[in-house]
Structure 1
């Protein structure tokens, strides 16, 4: 198993609304689920409901470009305003133990899955995530997965909840004028509209 678990010490980044019925405070994982369409939700199957912290999940990215691509994939629009989204960055307080599902890993093939799983239908990925948490939650804090769009994503599960610092390194509204030129470049790069 050791060859399949990488140590993640780099900063993480997340774009998320701050004004919505399901907004999460910094350092919290979502225990409600599984949410249809959310690829790596590990919650036990069935109707979405609140679960114990063990089944928590938080989707993060390694770069602003990857985060923008992930949050704009359904609409192909980087919306700087709806829900008052914030860009939050932080560095975990200890190395994260992540099951490596990136292209260089052989874990998937050794467990009778293809690399295509990482881009497969969400219900199939949710089943795998559920089994990973059920069997490896004392071994891993989450997953390192390729973004369907660009870059690398880190999906935190319940054991990763104790890796947040007391406060983020940086937190900025996506609508901050200082971010606008950067977001313009990102929008061109990933073929999205910026509003």
Structure 2
């Protein structure tokens, strides 16, 4: 029988549970974070800025109803290229190198994350949930995201297991005390760049995606 994710506990209860030292994951400048992002069309968001329209995705912490929520932005990244591609093209399972003029950008960020992947502690279980947090319905995981965000304003976001690659990914929630993004990216290429053709084809093969 499938494991169901219960609703999140109250903010007060989460604060009682707290976060243990081994459940934090500091992300510093010694690791690259990858992001695939469109650069043309409607609703384009720069690589180093938050999306304020939502909630849409798994750990969007924006309140309902869906719409524009200034100051409540959300940002997703991945620890490896395969995961960045898998997440960006999850709806169609087709890596489209042309539509929206997408780019693959690598950067070094500074953030403190709560680990909900199971790699560092077992926080979801301690908090009254379980590891279905990474695969339950978006409606339910967004409720968890909103509660965690309000309970722990010192946390910049979450480290989780991406549903489509099974590898680490991160979500950042907009905080106003500091900007986690660097002034410049380490690397940034158009997905249509022929220098990426082999790398994208290999990633698509591993993921079972198509490429156009």
TM over 0.5: same fold? yes
Q: 1:26 aligns with which of 31, 34, 47?
A: 47
Q: How far is the alpha carbon of 1:148 from its aligned partner?
A: 0.5
Q: How far does residue 22 in structure 1 lie from its aligned partner after superposition? A: 1.0
Could you tell me which residue of structure 2 aligns to residue 169 of structure 1? Answer: 186
Shift of 1:52: 3.1
Deviation of the 1:4 alpha carbon: 1.8
| Residue 146 in structure 1 maps to residue 146 in structure 2 | no
Helix, strand or coil: the match of 1:3? Answer: helix
CA distance in 2, matches of 1:26, 1:181: 23
Cα deviation, residue 6, structure 1: 1.2
Q: TM-score, normalised by structure 2?
A: 0.85
Partner of 1:157: 173
User: Residues 33 and 50 of structure 1 are in contact (CA less than 8 Å); yes or no, is this contact kept in structure 2?
Assistant: yes
Paired positions, count: 188
* Deviation for aligned residue 1:132: 1.1
Q: CA deviation at 1:26?
A: 3.1
Question: Quick one: which of 194, 197, 200 aligns to 1:180?
Answer: 197
Unmatched runs of 5 consecutive residues or more in structure 1: none
Q: Is the 8 A contact 1:26 1:167 kept in 2?
A: no
Note if 1:100 corresponds to 2:119: no
- The two structures, once aligned, show a CA RMSD in angstroms of 1.4
Q: CA deviation at 1:168?
A: 0.8
Partner Cα separation in structure 2 for residue 142 and residue 89 of structure 1: 19
| Richer in helix (by share) | 1
Measure the CA separation in 2 of the matches of 1:26 and 1:193: 24
Matched, 1:113 2:134: no
Gaps of 5+ in 2: 1-18
The 1-side partners of 2:157 and 2:133 are apart by 16
**d(CA) in 2 for partners of 1:89 and 1:57?**
18
